[in-house]
Structure 1
Amino acid sequence: MTRGIANIDREAIMPITRRNLIKTGVGLGALGAVGLGYWELSKVDSKARIVIVGGGAAGTGLANQLYHFLDGISITVIDPRPYHWYQPGQTLLLAGSYQDRDDVISANKTYLDSRTRWLQDSVVEYRPQQNQVVTAGGQTIAYDYLVVGAGLELRYDMIEGMDTKLIGKDGIHSIYFSPEAGIASHKAALDFANSKGGKAVFTRPQGAMKCAGAPMKATNLVEYFVRETGHRDDFQFDYFTSEGHLFAVKVFNNKLEEIWQQRGINDHRQHTLTAIDSAAKTATFASANGTTTTEWDFIHVVPPMSPVKSVRESELADNNTFKGYLEVDQYTMQHKRFANVFGIGDNVGTPIGKTAASAKSQIPVVASNITALVTGKEPTAKWGGYTSCPMILDVGHAMLWEFDYTIEPMTALPFQVVDPLAESKLAWVMEKSMIRPVYDLMLHGYTPI
């Protein structure tokens, strides 16, 4: 049951004990078992051909969950990447809690159902009028139902002077780029913290992005490493965001402002990174008042992001509100013009929801609505915009932030496990150790919470 907590009453929050956690785990296990039993008893026989573009968290989880609803279907997942990347782990690489590539990279076969056809290729053309997609390898694949979960493209090319070859060198870092970039960022952050002082700059790009909290998590972690050396006064921290706020949810925004004021982190709003000069160690930002250039010794660059070219230039793209993104109903995830097409994950045109937690809550909605179409019914399952952001504060403390389309705090758990405004050790443990098992369950097609 979802319970809103817009008016947060700390006294009413259930105290966390081992017994409570065990009881909650048992409850979730029971719910999962009941749900699985219901699916098995109510499966629909179908020869539907389902094509899923994108084998990330959303695509893989959906492929596996569809087998709970439908028997006899043919599922093809198209993705050029031969491995699965646990992208939420990138901030844990920066924290040093994860330490090597294997902590975030797994073989696809770890999660794939044997009935699924995995095509290691990429879609270059969508033909929704003909119910076909065309791949880079030259294959034309027909479908009865199409789900597009191709993710987002990192647009470093939109920053003048920024070359991905620079990442990990001479003070330029970006945990978004790769597992190796996350590992290198941790080492560089420690080296910076142990230097004689300097200026650290962190950026947040314009437009929608996956894990919008990550730029702030990176800021918090590097500042923490510096503070731990005992020489915080020798360093300057500046955060530049294209937004007019730090975080979209007002109560969370206010809390972060309070923390940053205490820690001496300066924020500059409505500043968009437009250029970087690696030789001069300067970054240029555009703002309403013109351009600003600042020097840096350590810089964390978060690039602009967009749907991949094949999506944003296709007939399936939104040309109005969410330009370039898949044009879907924000609740049913069904395409607004092609009834047998659905979107899932980061590439959908919705107001919020570009996190793994959002993908997890979208999977049962899309699976249910495809099943409805297969049985001749109208799609009625709805996604409410659920988004979760465990805001890491340092190595050992975090705040668990959850919200939805209302842009108000809420919780998806049966009770308030942790106060979202408390600098909590439990929230850190959840981020470091408890979220990954839930994520893996999602990849296998189970979404009990």
Structure 2
Amino acid sequence: MNIKRRTFLTGAATLSAAGLVSLGGCQINTPTTSAKVVIAGGGAGGTGLANMLKRYLPGLSISIIEPRPQHWYQPGQTLLLAGVYTEAADVLSPHTDYLDSDINWIPDSVTEFLPDTNQVVTASGATIAYDYLIVATGLELRYDLIEGLDTREIGHNGIHSIYFSPEAGLASYKEALAFASRGEGRGVFTRPQGPMKCAGAPLKATNLVEYFVRESGQRNNYSLNYYTSEATLFSVKAFNQKLNEIWTERDITAHYGRVLTAVDSQNKTASFTKTDGSVETVEWDFLHIAPPMSAVPAVRNSELADNTTFVGYLEVDRYTMQHKHYPNVFGLGDSVGTPIGKTAASVKSQIPVITENLSALIQGQPLVAKWSGYTSCPMILDVGHAMLWEFDYSMEPVTALPFEVVDPLSESKLAWVMEKSLIKPVYDLMLHGYTPI
């Protein structure tokens, strides 16, 4: 198998000459501008992009519209389940820890996009005008599409979903240990239909719970089953094959073409609709749900939404991240309609592309920066081992590190250390507007 090398990106903060700034291999001029940029969404993408834009286009007036007072490090949810992180504060921090003081924070949410008049409407009723709009609104978790599921039960009574909240991640760890100490039981893990953030997370949850059960010494008394709407475990062929081999060794059974449509918490059953329309109902003692996901209502019900391929998501050029019909609109992160890329790693590689392209647009120049579709999934195998999976639009493995250091198909202690200790500092740099690797 050939694995492409992904070169390290040069740190933008270390290079500047003749008015040019290096942004991860991209070169931009610094135009004089007082244009007004509105960023809808203050998560990883919105915050990181705002800080980078402020650094390299200092004349911009930048406003972020985001109602949440804290930043949520969502990649840390699997580390809550692993027991590495032990409190909500490990994944939550004030937005003020990251945001440049010159950036205007609006504690509100966008409820309507009016791209024909270059305006957005917020939940408080305010109408805000812009010259350029960045959509970074993330995804909506659609637990409401699962009949009988009460989200108040998540983290209790055997129902879990690390996507739901930091508290849900903490509860999942405690109940996973309790499940492993029972001596026997049925574990059911799900993957929804359609695009989702961090498609590897439900696989990681399955691996971690299996590890806890195995460590209990009673593995033979447990049945662990993974139900996915997909036809494979993972979209990259080499990674899918490797995980299948691991799950065969660990006696984890995968069931394909099944969509979770109902949960009965009283009788502890889950119902799945199969591709032929029939329904399969299974019993569980420990249930982990990755819910259906969609773009937020303000996006999917707007003129900005894709109505053909990526229905409901922001309709962007997959390389430049510019909207296909409204050239002064860009998108990044989970909200965009691209074949892959709903991870923080993708956001990190999209930020310098949008920065360069927005600068070019302001100056009336062609948009030449291209996003490759790069994404990354550190596949946790257990507490102590992982595999560092990276790929792009080619759907082939790529790697930034030498193959001898991290083999993406090897069960690696180093990959685990990177997931546990090194990715968060790189993530924090991204939030401050730096994308050095």
TM-score range normalised by the length of the shorter chain: over 0.9
Counterpart amino acid of residue 103 in structure 1? D
1:77-101 CA distance string (max 9 Å, x none): 0011111000000000000000001
* 1:262 aligned partner: 249
* 1:7 aligned partner: 2
Equivalences for residues 364-383 of structure 1 within 5 A: 364-383=352-371
For residue 387 of structure 1, the aligned residue among 365, 375, 395 is 375
Preserved contact between residue 3 and residue 398 of structure 2 (Cα < 8 Å): no
* 1:331 aligned partner: 319
Preserved contact between residue 144 and residue 340 of structure 1 (Cα < 8 Å): yes
Preserved contact between residue 387 and residue 409 of structure 2 (Cα < 8 Å): yes
Preserved contact between residue 173 and residue 185 of structure 1 (Cα < 8 Å): yes
* 1:408 aligned partner: 396
Q: What secondary structure, in the 3-state scheme, does the structure 2 residue paired with 1:39 have?
A: strand
- Looking at structure 2, the residues matched to 319 and 171 of structure 1 have their Cα atoms a distance apart, in angstroms, of 38
Preserved contact between residue 205 and residue 302 of structure 1 (Cα < 8 Å): yes
Extract unaligned runs of 5+ from structure 2.
23-27
For residue 94 of structure 2, the aligned residue among 102, 107, 126 is 107
Q: CA deviation at 1:426?
A: 0.1
Preserved contact between residue 43 and residue 69 of structure 1 (Cα < 8 Å): yes
Residue 296 of structure 2 is aligned to residue 308 of structure 1: yes
* 1:116 aligned partner: 103
Residue 340 of structure 2 is aligned to residue 346 of structure 1: no
* 2:160 aligned partner: 173
Count of matched residue pairs: 428
Preserved contact between residue 29 and residue 359 of structure 2 (Cα < 8 Å): no
Residue 233 of structure 2 is aligned to residue 246 of structure 1: yes
For residue 146 of structure 2, the aligned residue among 156, 159, 162 is 159
Q: What secondary structure, in the 3-state scheme, does the structure 2 residue paired with 1:389 have?
A: strand
Equivalences for residues 65-80 of structure 1 within 5 A: 65-80=52-67
Higher helix share: 1
Q: CA deviation at 1:69?
A: 2.1
Preserved contact between residue 43 and residue 68 of structure 1 (Cα < 8 Å): no
Q: What secondary structure, in the 3-state scheme, does the structure 2 residue paired with 1:58 have?
A: helix
For residue 145 of structure 1, the aligned residue among 125, 132, 143 is 132
* 1:135 aligned partner: 122
Q: CA deviation at 1:8?
A: 5.0
Go from structure 1 to structure 2 and tell me whether the alpha carbon gap of 1:36 and 1:400 turns closer, same or farther (over 3 Å shift).
farther
CA RMSD of aligned residues (A): 1.7
Higher mean C-alpha displacement, 280-289 vs 180-189: 280-289
Preserved contact between residue 52 and residue 432 of structure 2 (Cα < 8 Å): yes
Extract unaligned runs of 5+ from structure 1.
1-5, 14-23
Residue 212 of structure 2 is aligned to residue 225 of structure 1: yes
Q: CA deviation at 1:207?
A: 0.1
Q: CA deviation at 1:36?
A: 5.5
1:348-395 CA distance string (max 9 Å, x none): 000000000000000000111000011111211100100100000000
1:111-166 CA distance string (max 9 Å, x none): 00011000010001111010000101111111000000000000000000011101
Residue 108 of structure 2 is aligned to residue 126 of structure 1: no
Preserved contact between residue 340 and residue 373 of structure 2 (Cα < 8 Å): yes
1:9-55 CA distance string (max 9 Å, x none): 9xxx9xxxxxxxxxx9xx97x74443366439953221010000000
* 1:213 aligned partner: 200
1:243-301 CA distance string (max 9 Å, x none): 00000000000000000000000000011000000000000001124110000000001
- Looking at structure 2, the residues matched to 412 and 111 of structure 1 have their Cα atoms a distance apart, in angstroms, of 26
Identity %: 65
Counterpart amino acid of residue 434 in structure 2? Y
Go from structure 1 to structure 2 and tell me whether the alpha carbon gap of 1:128 and 1:307 turns closer, same or farther (over 3 Å shift).
same
- Looking at structure 1, the residues matched to 396 and 29 of structure 2 have their Cα atoms a distance apart, in angstroms, of 36
Residue 21 of structure 2 is aligned to residue 39 of structure 1: yes
Counterpart amino acid of residue 374 in structure 2? Y
- Looking at structure 2, the residues matched to 307 and 135 of structure 1 have their Cα atoms a distance apart, in angstroms, of 17
- Looking at structure 1, the residues matched to 112 and 44 of structure 2 have their Cα atoms a distance apart, in angstroms, of 22
Q: CA deviation at 1:416?
A: 6.0
Q: What secondary structure, in the 3-state scheme, does the structure 2 residue paired with 1:161 have?
A: coil
Counterpart amino acid of residue 354 in structure 1? K
